[in-house]
Amino acid sequence: MMADRSGVKYPSYLNLFEDGTLEKRAKELKEIYTNCTLCPRDCRVDRTRKQLGKCRATSTLKISSAFPHFGEERPLVGQKGSGTIFLSHCGLRCLYCQNHTISMDGEGIEVSDERAAEAMLKLQKMGCHNINWVTPTHYLPSLINGLKLAIPMGLKLPIVYNTSGYERPEILRKLDGIVDIYLPDFKYWDPEMAGKYSSEAYSYPHYARLAFKEMFRQVGDLEADGRGVARRGLMVRHLVLPNRVAGTREVLKFIAEELSRTTYINIMRQYRPEYRAREFKEINRRLTGAEYAEALGWAKEFGLSNLDR
């Protein structure tokens, strides 16, 4: 555990734990399970009674895997890896998802909040630099409660909120002071593309823009320690899709003009047709070198200087 010169503890959730704010927010979030509005789908089902919304998840936390991951961005991986906890199910439901057995089929094991706390502590004991919640939105109440339980047992790693970007700003505000590192993917600029390829999520671009601004307000640009390991801040991912489906130019322009030209960005080129992608001619191929070079050119055009390499 560390503190700055003002005595504020790091990770930031330790401060909220001590003054009781974390427990209050955990209770508030748990109540949302009974009329679920955690994501912009706004399903309003009672997940405590196993009513299923778009994400297909109940109120019982379901984990696919938890392990030190070395395939994340370098500031997250460091020497000992990012402590990733892959959550089952997903509210966005992209039709080209590479992890569709987890996100669509719900592959995983149901666990209690106490077991989730134990998983975080185990990753810390293994030397991981952070706790990386992958696709956490629909299980946020359970995760925050698990975090609250893990702190008295010694948890002191920063939380990485690894999300699709399809977030409600009012829910993100409940994470202010809890999450130190946001890792969202800005997937689409065009509502029509979002609706077509992510299960009618036409509102995705609207909510993503609001969410990115809220995340940046909370944590700002990425800060790293002396070893280059992420300590706090916003890290953006953008998966370039074939035939400009993702609206990459507009996404990068937004980041440069509405957030910061020094925003850490990983412009990803690893798209490949998975799951139902072969049903759609536009995205039924890998990205070309020319398409990726075009994306990098746009980043340069808008003065974005902190690109993942």
User: What does the H/E/C string look like for 248-261?
Assistant: HHHHHHHHHHHHCC
Of the candidates 155, 79, 149, 144, which has an alpha carbon nearest to the alpha carbon of residue 122?
Answer: 155
pLDDT tier at 4 (50, 70, 90 boundaries)? low
Residue 307 lies in a domain: no
Mean predicted lDDT score pLDDT of the chain: 96
Peptide bond into 242 cis (omega under 30): no
The per-residue pLDDT for 59 is 98
Q: What span, in angstroms and rounded, lies between the C-alpha atoms of 70 and 203?
A: 33
Percent of the chain with pLDDT over 70: 98
Contact by Cβ (8 Å): 278, 233? no
**CATH code of 200's domain:** 3.20.20.70
**Residue 164 pLDDT grade (very low, low, confident, very high; cuts 50, 70, 90):** very high
Q: What are phi and psi of 96, to 5 degrees?
A: -120, 20
Give me the helix-helix angle, 140-150 and 21-32, nearest 10°. 150
**Is residue 107 pLDDT above 70, yes or no?**
yes
CA angle 161, 163, 167 (to 5 degrees): 100
Q: DSSP string covering 87-98, please?
A: ES--SS--TT-T
pLDDT at 170 over 90: yes
Q: How many domains does the chain have?
A: 1
- pLDDT the model gives residue 155: 98
Residue type for 208, please? A
pLDDT in the model for residue 6 = 56
Q: Is 309 contained in some domain? A: no
Digit-coded pLDDT (tens) for 122-146: 999 999 999 999 999 999 999 999 9
Contact 129, 80 (CB under 8 A): yes
Range of the domain at 276: 2-301
pLDDT over 90 percentage in the chain: 97
Q: Is residue 270 part of a domain?
A: yes
Give the largest Cα separation in the chain, rounded.
56
Whether 213 is in a domain gets the answer yes
In a domain, 306, yes or no: no
pLDDT of residue 309: 72
Distance between CA atoms of 57 and 100, rounded to whole angstroms? 14
- pTM here is 0.96
Distance CA 181, CA 171 (A): 16
Taking alpha carbons only, the member of 215, 223, 229, 227 closest to residue 162 is 215
Q: Are 232 and 181 in contact (CB under 8 A)?
A: yes
pLDDT, one tens digit per residue, over 247-274 is 999 999 999 999 999 999 999 999 999 9
For the stretch 67-101, pLDDT in tens is 999 999 999 999 999 999 999 999 999 999 999 99
Per-residue pLDDT tens over the stretch 9-40: 899 999 999 999 999 999 999 999 999 999 99
Under a CB-based contact definition with an 8 Å cutoff, are residues 211 and 66 in contact? no
Contact 102, 108 (CB under 8 A): yes
Query: Does the residue 93 lie in any domain?
Result: yes
- Residue 48 falls within a domain, yes or no? yes
Residue 127 lies in a domain: yes
Looking at residue 207, what is its pLDDT? 98
Specify the pLDDT at position 8: 77
